[in-house]
Amino acid sequence: MKNIPQHVAIIMDGNGRWAKKQGFATRVRGHELGVEALRRASTGAAELGIRFLTVYAFSEENWQRPKAEVDALMNILMTSLSKELPVLQENGIRLHAIGNLDALPSKARKQLDATREATAGNTRMVLTLALSYGSRQELTSAVRVLAEKAVRGELQAQSISERDVAQALWTHDLPDPELVIRTSGEQRISNFLLWQISYAELVFLPVLWPDFSKEDLVSALSTFAGRERRLGKTSEQLHA
């Protein structure tokens, strides 16, 4: 494939509807199968030459879900991190995480740190889990960091640049995504990477996340390849 984006971000949505459609009594089975979809997406992305894959796994707002569902999600996170380690290693995938990670249960946090350490040497692709993540919260924390620097006299308010803002975000070590995919047919961003996706292409797929396949990824990539990314310029300028 040509024109493969360096960084793809995915809003993995539709687990609950998938479970309901399949006749499961709770939404949890959808989340469990969602992990398998993430495995397909990650290995597929690495095979296709994508260097950074960032997935929205749990939003700041998701803490408001019923306690039983939140607990189940945290358990799935913990068990999956250890279970999927061999897959990450075999595929050269380095695990990374962004979000208000201190809000995670300490056991999950520890497991996350252990998996990050264990995969730190992998260089084929970086898989970033957005956990307890909210873009407004991230921007608010960046404003605080910059304000504190200004108060300490390390930064002149007048000289704050886009680069300074980007450096104060949780994503400071990631390039901006060129493509955002959202599954489940919903067409919204839900507080995901607002700053970073300013110029990303958005692709909305009807497939529910547990059914996501490598073919769906390829289809989103070919939609992306067919888009003209003008970045403010004219089409004529791009072709000159």
Positions marked catalytic: 13, 62
Nearest Cα to 94, choosing from 11, 173, 210, 10?
173
Is residue 109 a contact residue for ligand IPE (CB under 6 A)? Answer: no
Is residue 11 a contact residue for ligand IPE (CB under 6 A)? Answer: yes
Strand partners, 204: 182
Nearest Cα to 171, choosing from 147, 148, 200?
200
Nearest Cα to 132, choosing from 184, 58, 78, 196?
58
Cβ proximity to Mg ion: between 209 and 224 the closer is 209
Cβ proximity to ligand IPE: between 146 and 174 the closer is 174
Cα–Cα distance list, 89 to 113, 227, 234 (Å): 15, 34, 44
Instruction: Report how far Cα 125 is from the mean position of its chain's Cα atoms.
Output: 13
Is residue 77 a contact residue for ligand IPE (CB under 6 A)? Answer: no
**If contact means CB under 5 to 8 A according to the sort of partner, which of Mg ion, ligand IPE, none does residue 43 touch?**
none
The distance of closest approach from Cβ of residue 153 to Mg ion in the complex, given in angstroms and rounded to an integer, is 45
- Dihedral sign for Cα atoms in the order 198, 203, 205, 208: negative
Binding mask 172-191 for ligand IPE (x = CB under 6 A): ------------x-x-x-x-
**If contact means CB under 5 to 8 A according to the sort of partner, which of Mg ion, ligand IPE, none does residue 12 touch?**
ligand IPE
Cβ proximity to ligand IPE: between 23 and 86 the closer is 23
Q: Please state, in angstroms and rounded to a whole number, the distance separating the CA atoms of residues 126 and 95.
A: 6
Cβ proximity to ligand IPE: between 172 and 188 the closer is 188
The distance of closest approach from Cβ of residue 6 to ligand IPE in the complex, given in angstroms and rounded to an integer, is 22
The distance of closest approach from Cβ of residue 31 to Mg ion in the complex, given in angstroms and rounded to an integer, is 11
Name which position in 13, 60, 138, 201 contacts ligand IPE (CB under 6 A).
13
Cα–Cα distance list, 85 to 13, 89, 114, 138 (Å): 23, 6, 10, 28
Q: Which residues contact 214 (CB under 8 A, 6 or more apart)?
A: 40, 41, 44, 47
Cβ proximity to ligand IPE: between 65 and 124 the closer is 65
**If contact means CB under 5 to 8 A according to the sort of partner, which of ligand IPE, Mg ion, none does residue 134 touch?**
none
Range 58-87 burial, b when 16+ CB lie within 10 A, else e: bbbebeebeeeeeebbbbbbbebbeebbee
Nearest Cα to 133, choosing from 53, 177, 191?
191
The distance of closest approach from Cβ of residue 69 to ligand IPE in the complex, given in angstroms and rounded to an integer, is 8
Give the range of 38-46, 57-65, 145-153, 222-230 binding ligand IPE by CB under 6 A: 57-65
| Contacting positions for ligand IPE (CB under 6 A) | 11-17, 27, 56-59, 62, 73, 184, 186, 188, 190, 209
